[in-house]
């Protein structure tokens, strides 16, 4: 299950439990809307409550990232899972977005709204 909200400077996505292909399709619709009206999308993924994901969702994520390689600005990921950390590192191969990992919501939000893209995130 996911929840999605459109904030002023980013799309906030929180995953709860299993991340399925249906959830990812809902994410795609929201992100495409953001891209259509803003040109690029900044994302905040809260994966702290994600328990698992389906293989078809993972395949779709790679496909979507590759086809929208230049449509993302910053992607902040909240996680305490080592596998998600490795996945974020691999995701950088498929997108031109600046991807950073964060231990807490506030530091992720600050990084997303900061116009200085060279600023380092709070250490994890």
- Residue 106's CATH number: 3.40.50.10600
pLDDT band at 122 (very low <50, low <70, confident <90, very high): very low
Residues shown for the chain: 124
Classify residue 70: in a domain, yes or no: yes
Question: CA 72 to CA 53: how far, in whole Å?
Answer: 22
Q: How many domains does the chain have?
A: 1
Classify residue 99: in a domain, yes or no: yes
pLDDT band at 70 (very low <50, low <70, confident <90, very high): very high
**Residue 93 lies in domain:** 2-113
Classify residue 89: in a domain, yes or no: yes
Classify residue 121: in a domain, yes or no: no
Residues 6+ apart with CB under 8 A from 117: 73, 74, 98
Question: Rounded mean pLDDT of 94-123?
Answer: 77
Classify residue 33: in a domain, yes or no: yes
Which of 22-26, 80-84, 110-114 has the lowest average pLDDT?
A: 80-84
In sequence order, what are the beta bridge partners of 14? 3, 46
Classify residue 65: in a domain, yes or no: yes
Tokens encoding 39 = 């040109």
- Residues 65, 91: contact at Cβ < 8 Å? yes
Specify the higher pLDDT residue, 14 or 96.
Answer: 14
Tokens encoding 29 = 């619709």
Classify residue 120: in a domain, yes or no: no
């Amino acid at each position: 299950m996911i929840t999605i909200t459109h904030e002023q400077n980013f799309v906030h996505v929180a995953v709860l439990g299993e991340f399925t292909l249906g959830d990812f399709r809902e994410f795609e619709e929201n992100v495409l809307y953001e891209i259509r009206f803003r040109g690029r999308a900044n994302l905040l993924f809260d994966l702290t409550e994600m328990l698992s994901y389906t293989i078809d969702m993972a395949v779709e994520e790679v496909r979507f990232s590759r086809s929208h390689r230049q449509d993302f600005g910053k992607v902040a990921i909240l996680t305490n899972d080592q596998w998600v950390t490795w996945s974020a590192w691999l995701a950088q191969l498929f997108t031109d977005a600046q991807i950073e990992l964060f231990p807490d919501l506030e530091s992720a939000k600050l990084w997303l709204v900061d116009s200085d893209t060279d600023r380092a995130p709070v250490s994890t």
